[in-house]
């Protein structure tokens, strides 16, 4: 049986990328940097990765650890894909390719943010509806 505290914690772990939104707003308000303005998805990715890593390391074996493990795998794979693409596009932009700026805004401001929000809601509702895993037969 999954306890209400475990279920609530698992839902919070899955909603963790949304913690990147206040972090993004704070960073933009304090820096007034257009570079920050166009990349909310990177803040959401970082928040999701950090919270999943801490929850995976701190949670005892069980439902919360399994949920945070899934979130950690998703965010680690996404970060492994996003960081090199971001570095290449940023290099292209600083080298004078203005089209790279449009691609960066589309990828990291739009698609990455949308992917994080959709995944956060889908997995959080999945954690809410999850039933206990069947016991192994001995």
Q: Please check the confidence at residue 101 and state whether its pLDDT lies above 50.
A: yes
- State the Cα angle at 57 between 56 and 61, rounded to 5°: 65
Q: How far apart are CA 110 and CA 121, in angstroms?
A: 17
Here the tokens at position 125 are 């509702």
Residue 79: predicted pLDDT? 92
Which of 127, 18, 134 lies closest to 65, judged by CA? 127
Mean predicted confidence (pLDDT) in 65-90? 90
Selection from 5, 2, 16 nearest residue 124 by Cα: 16
Q: What is the model's pLDDT at position 138?
A: 47
Convert the pLDDT of each residue in 110-125 to its tens digit: 888 899 999 999 988 8
Q: Give percent of the chain above pLDDT 90.
A: 22
pLDDT at residue 136 greater than cutoff 50: no
pLDDT tens, 44-54?
Answer: 999 999 999 99
Concatenating the DSSP letter of every residue in 9-77 gives: HHHHHHTGGGGHHHHHHHHHHHH--HHHHT-HHHHHHHHHHHHHHHHHHHSPTTHHHHHHHHHHHHHHH
Mean pLDDT taken over the chain: 85
pLDDT above 70: percentage of residues in the chain: 95
């Amino acid at each position: 049986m999954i306890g209400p505290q475990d279920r609530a914690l698992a839902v919070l772990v899955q909603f963790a990328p949304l913690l990147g939104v206040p972090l993004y707003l704070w960073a933009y308000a304090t820096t007034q940097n257009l570079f920050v303005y166009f990349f909310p998805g990177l803040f959401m990715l970082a928040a999701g990765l950090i919270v999943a890593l801490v929850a995976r390391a701190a949670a005892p074996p069980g439902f919360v650890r399994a949920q945070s493990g899934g979130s950690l795998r998703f965010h680690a794979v996404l970060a492994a894909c996003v960081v090199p693409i971001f570095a290449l596009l940023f290099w292209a932009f600083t080298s004078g390719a203005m089209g790279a700026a449009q691609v960066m805004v589309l990828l990291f401001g739009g698609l990455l943010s949308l992917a994080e929000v959709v995944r956060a809601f889908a997995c959080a509702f999945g954690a809410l509806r999850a039933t206990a895993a069947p016991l192994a037969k001995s």
